[in-house]
Amino acid sequence: ETGVTQTPRHLVMGMTNKKSLKCEQHLGHNAMYWYKQSAKKPLELMFVYNFKEQTENNSVPSRFSPECPNSSHLFLHLHTLQPEDSALYLCASSQAGGGETQYFGPGTRLLVL
């Protein structure tokens, strides 16, 4: 138990569906992250939020839309995804947005059909 929870743990969706991934951290951290982890690729940083403000967007397609209503919650809204978007989506948090230790959730395994 790392203090970071993610729901759902598994998700299967069609290319025309809209779904949302949820992340919650109970560590009092100020920064939250979304990563994509695919086979044969390193962890890909998608978005960073620091004190609820988005500070990084690594050229992520607009079919992925993040939302950070407060420092404890982070969402990733998904729509019109492609099969190549199938991956493990990991959420993490850290005290601030620099090089501090990141605490990861268990991830959401997403399959796009």
Partner 1 sequence: TQLLEQSPQFLSIQEGENLTVYCNSSSVFSSLQWYRQEPGEGPVLLVTVVTGGEVKKLKRLTFQFGDARKDSSLHITAAQPGDTGLYLCAVHFSGNTPLVFGKGTRLSVIA
The three-state secondary structure class of 97 is: coil
Backbone phi, psi, residue 9, to 5°: -80, -30
Other C-beta atoms closer than 10 Å to the C-beta of 49 total 21
Beta strand 103-104 with 87-94: parallel, antiparallel or unpaired? antiparallel
| Contact track, partner 1, 49-88, x by CB under 8 A | -------x--------------------------------
Q: Tell me which stretch binds partner 1 (CB under 8 A): 13-21, 63-71, 72-80, 94-102.
A: 94-102
Residue 102 contacts residue 92 (beta carbons within 8 Å): yes
Report the residue from 16, 59, 70, 98 that binds partner 1 according to the rule CB under 8 A: 98
The reply to whether 107 sits near partner 1 by the rule CB under 8 A is yes
Which amino acid type is present at position 83?
P
Report the residue from 3, 45, 60, 71 that binds partner 1 according to the rule CB under 8 A: 45
Binding site for partner 1 (CB under 8 A): 2, 4, 33, 41-43, 45, 48, 56, 90, 92, 96-99, 101-107
